[in-house]
Amino acid sequence: MVLRRSGIAVGLLALAAGVVGAAQQREPLAVVRGRVEFARAIAAPEHRPSAVDPGGPIESDALNRRRAVVYFDAAPRGAFEDRESARVSLDQRNETFVPHLLAITAGTTVDFPNHDRTYHNVFSLSKAKRFDLGRYAAGNSKSVRFDRPGIVRVFCDIHSHMNAFILVFGHRFFAVTDQDGRYEIEGVPPGSYMLSAWFEGAVREQRPLTVTGDTRAVDLGFTVR
Amino acid sequence: MCTAGLMTAARPSRGTRLVLVCLAAMLAAASAGAQDWPDRPVSVAHGHVTVGGDVTVTVGSGDSGYFNFTDYERSTLRLVRFDAVTTLRANGHVSGVIELRAEGDSAAGNWSADAYAAYLRVQPWTGRNFEVQAGRIPTAFGGFSRRPYGNDNLLIGYPLGYQYLTSLRPDAVPGTADDLVAMRARGWLAYYPVGEQYWTHGVPPMSIFQYDTGVLAKAGIPAARGELSVSVTAGTLSNPGVGDHNGAPQVAARFAAKPVPGMLLGVSVASGAFVAREVRDVLPEDAARQQYRQRAVGADAEISHGYWLVRTELLSSVWRLPALEAPLITEPLRATAWLTEGRYKLAPGLYVAARYDRLLFSDIQSSHGVTTWDADLWRAEAGAGYSLRRNVMLKGSYQYNRRDGGRVKAASLAAAQVLLWF
């Protein structure tokens, strides 16, 4: 099932408050792993066409854009108790945000270092977090703390082709896929769950999952169509 | 010379209808391609076709002094525009750019549609910043002219140097200095006895509402952290268009550099034959042999840091007209436009902006004494913009115009605009 952005935003918010599953502390924990496959080509980012400056394809790391997030729609009990404040970085390099997709837990601070020769102006108008860091030069960095679960779309006010996603979760049961599309979510207690694979603004596929006390590892694949 | 001022048909022409249909098809295709109303350029056919668009709807005060008019019937404070830019990429070296634009007035209608830009783009070397454009192209001149889309404009009004209609016409010229002075502050609807015998609008120092036809070469100069553009086109800054109206090309050049991050400096020059062929055909033999050129120089600068953005630009244009009868027009006619604008972001998605703008004209000797050949004016405009989404913006602005002549010497005008782009 494919949900629109608003749908996934609601889902993520619900996820912050909802607790499903009858997991008990100290029960054996499982690992959920698998692979997200892409059944379609991933379009390269483009400059906004302009008669004055027609631009062209952006030289970017295609793998940077070929990332998905797999997450639990509803988290196991106790999932919200082990949050810890973290600090991660969303780089600006070659007029590209690297990584293009960042998944964090609420309370995480994201640094936005500028490693280009030109100014950048990172901003977001997303409901989950509105911010505007203003224009700053190479070698400088500014940071934002994300306290509210949701989807944050990040742009540069100067370079309209620059964009990135930050998914803010209320728990730790999520993973960003690696270069081969593989993901792994550890420490899953027994229970029945729904897993979603999210890519470029929408949930692309959802699959149910049941973890019993005997389960040690589950392999679950997804396809982005 | 466009004669649309008094000759706009009630029904759109076949060409206009064709462009409107193409524009609607492109916007529909873009929307379908994105499976939603797009918020970024839509790329199809494995990146060979990319479509971007811009929709602007503006409502504003009636402008009885014609301070904001781009021709006799259309004001920038009531501009409604649908714009689609498509790039067609054959390979890494050859591509085409087509910009279709439909414009109307939110109060008066007066719709027109045109292929605003249509050119072939050749980039001979991969990895080098060098390209050649041929067709209907933007002229290599000016700073504001590099920002032609609605979301590039901090306010709603346009700078005087790029929009305000002076009393000069390329297709008709004054026989005497008195003829010229009689049209002071009448650029929205002017008449001269030599050339085309009808009333229509004059031209701005540089028109941002049309592109020219010709060839442009652009090259990056890494050592200077800059870029040089040179164009050879059929029209002039004031009167660009399709086809050769004046029998001689215009050469224009612009060099822009970014010496340090956050700073842009640009200089531009242009020179081209201004007076149209139909005027030269009726001039006395001696006068017809001379060239009547528009020459212009420009300089622009932009500085930004944090939440501030400040720009300033100077555009000086000189036109030479035939000296036919006394009192003669012997001196070149100069217009100097100067603007400073700034923006400050108050909060995410919310900014305030202001622009101060002057347009001054040189003196001329007529039977009534010495006066400027057109009426000097200035404009102050202030406004705010709020982004509902990244690509949906609401703008509001208020402007005060003051002119040293004409039936309406001052005007306070307000406008609101909704802007969507992708």
ipTM: 0.84
Q: Is there a domain that residue B68 lies in?
A: no
Chain segment B268-314, per-residue pLDDT in tens: 999 999 999 989 999 999 999 888 999 999 999 999 999 999 999 99
| Three-class secondary structure assignment of A76-95 | CCCCCCCCCCCEEECEEECC
Q: Is the pLDDT assigned to residue B321 strictly greater than 90?
A: yes
DSSP letters of B286-354? Answer: HHHHS--EEEEEEEEEEEEEBTEEEEEEEEEEEE-----SSSP--SPEEEEEEEEEEEEEEETTEEEEE
Q: Is there a domain that residue B100 lies in?
A: no
Interface test with B, best of A114, A115, A124, A135 (most B CBs within 10 A): A135
Indicate the range of A49-53, B23-27, B258-262, B402-406 predicted with least confidence.
Answer: B23-27
Name the token pair of B317: 């244009």
Write out residues 64-123 of B within 8 Å (CB-CB) of A.
85-87, 89, 95, 97, 99, 116-117, 119, 121, 123
pLDDT classification of B40: cutoffs 50, 70, 90: confident
Q: In chain B, what residues touch A125 (CB-CB under 8 Å)?
A: 348-349, 387-390
CB contact under 8 A, A52 and B146: yes
CATH of the domain at B170: 2.40.160
Domain span including residue B329: 113-413
The confidence score (pLDDT) of residue B73 equals 82
Q: Is there a domain that residue B103 lies in?
A: no
Q: Quote the radius of gyration of chain A (alpha carbons, Å).
A: 18
For residues B319 and B49, the model is more confident at B319
Domain span including residue A22: 5-224
φ/ψ of residue B20, rounded to 5: -60, -40
Interface test with A, best of B101, B390, B422 (most A CBs within 10 A): B390
CATH of the domain at A119: 2.60.40.420
Name the token pair of B121: 């783009």
- Chain A: residue whose CA lies nearest to B210: A51
Q: Is the pLDDT assigned to residue A1 strictly greater than 50?
A: no
The mean pLDDT of B53-71, rounded to a whole number, is 94
Number of domains chain B is built from: 1
Q: Is there a domain that residue B301 lies in?
A: yes
Closest CA to B188 of B303, B74, B326: B74
Q: Is the pLDDT assigned to residue A121 strictly greater than 60?
A: yes
Long-range contacts of B207-210 (CB under 8 A, 24+ apart): B207/B162, B207/B237, B207/B238, B207/B239, B207/B240, B208/B144, B208/B145, B208/B148, B208/B158, B208/B162, B208/B163, B209/B70, B209/B163, B210/B2, B210/B116, B210/B240, B210/B241
CB contact under 8 A, B97 and A54: yes
Closest CA to A195 of A213, A165, A173: A173
Q: In chain B, what residues touch A160 (CB-CB under 8 Å)?
A: 40
Write out residues 252-311 of B within 8 Å (CB-CB) of A.
258, 261-262, 304-307, 309
Q: Name which of A51, A135, A137 is nearest B116 (Cβ-Cβ).
A: A51
Q: In chain B, what residues touch A119 (CB-CB under 8 Å)?
A: 261-262, 304-305
Q: Is there a domain that residue B59 lies in?
A: no
Nearest chain A CA: its distance from B116 CA (Å) = 9
The mean pLDDT of B221-228, rounded to a whole number, is 93
Q: In chain A, what residues touch B268 (CB-CB under 8 Å)?
A: none
Q: Dihedral sign, CA of A57, B46, B124, A61?
A: positive
Q: Is the pLDDT assigned to residue B23 strictly greater than 90?
A: no
CB contact under 8 A, A51 and B51: no
Number of domains chain A is built from: 1
Write out residues 168-227 of B within 8 Å (CB-CB) of A.
211
Q: Name which of B46, B89, B145 is nearest A41 (Cβ-Cβ).
A: B46
Q: Is there a domain that residue B49 lies in?
A: no
What is the three-class DSSP state of B7?
helix
What value, to the nearest 5°, has the Cα angle with vertex B334 and ends B330 and B340? 170
Is B343 part of the contact surface with chain A (CB cutoff 8 Å)?
A: no
* A171, amino acid identity: H
What is the pLDDT of chain B when averaged over all its residues? 91
- What number of C-beta contacts closer than 8 Å exist between A and B? 100
The confidence score (pLDDT) of residue B141 equals 98
- pTM: predicted TM-score of the whole model, two decimal places: 0.88
Q: Is there a domain that residue B151 lies in?
A: yes
The position carrying tokens 């070149």 is B332
